[in-house]
């Protein structure tokens, strides 16, 4: 334990040991010292094992906490399905009717007929009444779609609830045949901005903080890149806004409940909103956005994503510098050079 160079085995070594300096002498400990050393060594080993076990349990807890945060879903799917079942009984889905009208109008401008459409929706019965010949599936995280079996896929007003919207688009592209069309309609970031600001201000005034009550939604400048990430060709993103008018904010909230669009966030508060906070939010809503008659607007921004499944027959971009005619000649103007 203390060294291996020279051990005291008898008096014959006394002279050689005496000639060594005190820093190089190696003397075998006595039995009592050996027992004490062995006892201390065993204690140190037990302490080291306890420390290692403690660090192992701590690391496991940290990894479990990190994995739990990473795997935590944005949407509470059971709550979302419960909201939709309740809305199905009330059947007040005017926003879905507006989305259907928009989809039909866009399809009428496409110079192509579709024989095998697929519609992804949280309300398949409603969409089936307008697209009877289509295959209708729910918007689960893993879509129940056959790969390469459809020439048209419509994602119908439910992409804003997806935890992985890019994954939904990739699955939709895989369900398309080559040169098939994807058309997605969902709510954008300006949806219900009046209600969002009123609730935030009321909670900040009365409770000193904010709670996640309205689902976060993407802006069109960010959503346009999703189609390219999903592998679609000729991607286009645009938006339009539908503004509804209500007698008071409570009627808007009842309509949202009837449409199945009440909060289904996993991090939402699980208790009822305090009455004073609700009344304060309604007052702020009317004061900020109400008209002379006391009615309040509610904005719904619809984002539309359009893309095609890649195919060899589609137009391809030319190689840079391969143009045969200058742009100035095509426009009939003079070309002026820029100064360095």
pLDDT > 80? residue 303: yes
Does residue 109 sit in the same domain as residue 169? yes
Does residue 110 sit in the same domain as residue 60? no
C-alpha 61/C-alpha 224 separation (Å) is: 39
Evaluate whether residue 317 is within a structural domain: no
Evaluate whether residue 222 is within a structural domain: yes
C-alpha 94/C-alpha 124 separation (Å) is: 15
Does residue 155 sit in the same domain as residue 182? yes
pLDDT > 90? residue 323: no
Does residue 55 sit in the same domain as residue 174? no
Q: How far is CA 302 from the centre of its chain?
A: 18
Range of 70-74, 163-167, 242-246, 321-325 with top mean pLDDT: 242-246
Task: List the beta strands (DSSP E) in the chain.
Answer: 117-121, 135-137, 150-156, 176-187, 233-246, 296-308
In this prediction, residue 6 carries a pLDDT of 38
Does residue 116 sit in the same domain as residue 165? yes
Evaluate whether residue 331 is within a structural domain: no
- CATH number of the domain bearing residue 285: 3.40.50.150
In this prediction, residue 57 carries a pLDDT of 54
Evaluate whether residue 23 is within a structural domain: yes
Does residue 87 sit in the same domain as residue 29? no
Does residue 31 sit in the same domain as residue 125? no
Evaluate whether residue 152 is within a structural domain: yes
With contact defined as beta carbons under 8 Å apart, do 122 and 86 qualify?
no
Does residue 168 sit in the same domain as residue 139? yes
Does residue 202 sit in the same domain as residue 295? yes
Does residue 99 sit in the same domain as residue 16? no
In this prediction, residue 212 carries a pLDDT of 72
Radius of gyration of the chain (CA): 35
Longest dimension (CA), the chain: 116
Evaluate whether residue 24 is within a structural domain: yes
C-alpha 225/C-alpha 190 separation (Å) is: 18
pLDDT > 80? residue 216: no
What pTM was computed for the model?
A: 0.70
Which tens digits make up the pLDDT trace of 81-103? 888 888 765 557 889 999 999 99
Does residue 24 sit in the same domain as residue 173? no
Last residue of a domain, one of 52, 71, 90: 71
Evaluate whether residue 1 is within a structural domain: no
Tell me the pLDDT of the chain averaged across its residues: 80
Evaluate whether residue 2 is within a structural domain: no
**Burial call 12-28: b when 16+ CB within 10 Å, e when fewer:** eeeeeeeeeeeeeeeee
Does residue 86 sit in the same domain as residue 65? no
Q: How many domains does the chain have?
A: 2
When pLDDT is averaged across residues 48-63 and rounded to a whole number, the result is 55
In this prediction, residue 8 carries a pLDDT of 40
Q: Where in the sequence is the domain holding 18, given as residue range(s)?
A: 12-71
Question: Strands across the sheet with 117-121, in order?
Answer: 135-137, 117-121, 150-156, 176-187, 296-308, 233-246
pLDDT > 90? residue 183: yes
Where is 175: in which H helix or E strand? helix 165-175
3-state class percentages of the chain: helix first, strand second, coil last, to nearest 5: 45, 15, 40
pLDDT > 90? residue 319: no
Last residue of a domain, one of 35, 55, 71: 71
């Amino acid at each position: 334990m203390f060294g291996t160079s020279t051990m005291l085995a008898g008096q014959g070594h006394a002279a050689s040991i005496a000639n060594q300096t005190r820093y190089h002498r190696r003397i075998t400990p006595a039995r009592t010292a050996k027992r004490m050393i062995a006892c201390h060594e065993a204690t140190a080993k037990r302490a080291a094992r306890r420390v290692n076990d403690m660090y192992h349990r701590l690391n496991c807890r940290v990894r479990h906490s990190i994995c739990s945060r990473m795997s935590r879903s944005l949407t509470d799917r059971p709550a979302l399905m419960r909201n939709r079942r309740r809305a199905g009984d009330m059947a007040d889905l005017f926003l879905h009717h507006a989305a259907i009208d928009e989809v039909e109008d866009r399809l009428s401008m496409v110079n192509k007929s579709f024989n095998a459409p697929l519609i992804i929706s949280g309300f398949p019965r409603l969409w089936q009444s307008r697209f009877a010949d289509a295959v209708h599936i729910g918007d689960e995280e893993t879509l129940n779609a056959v790969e390469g079996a459809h020439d048209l896929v419509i994602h119908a007003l439910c992409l804003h609830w997806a935890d992985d919207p890019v994954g939904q688009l990739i699955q939709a592209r895989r369900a398309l045949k080559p040169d098939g069309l994807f058309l997605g309609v969902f709510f954008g970031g300006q949806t219900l901005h009046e209600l969002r600001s009123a609730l935030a201000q009321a909670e900040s005034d009365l409770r000193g903080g904010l709670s996640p009550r309205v689902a976060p939604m993407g802006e069109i400048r960010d959503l346009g890149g999703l189609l390219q990430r999903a592998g679609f060709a000729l991607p286009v993103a645009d938006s339009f806004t539908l503004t509804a008018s209500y007698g008071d904010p409570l009627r808007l909230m009842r309509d949202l409940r009837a449409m199945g669009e009440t909060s289904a966030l996993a991090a939402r508060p699980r208790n009822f909103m305090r009455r004073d906070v609700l009344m304060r939010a309604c007052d702020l809503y009317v004061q900020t956005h109400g008209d002379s008659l006391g009615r309040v607007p509610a904005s719904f921004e619809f984002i539309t994503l359009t893309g095609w499944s890649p195919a060899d027959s589609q137009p391809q971009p030319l190689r840079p510098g391969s143009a045969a005619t200058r742009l100035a000649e095509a426009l009939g103007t003079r070309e002026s050079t820029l100064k360095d």
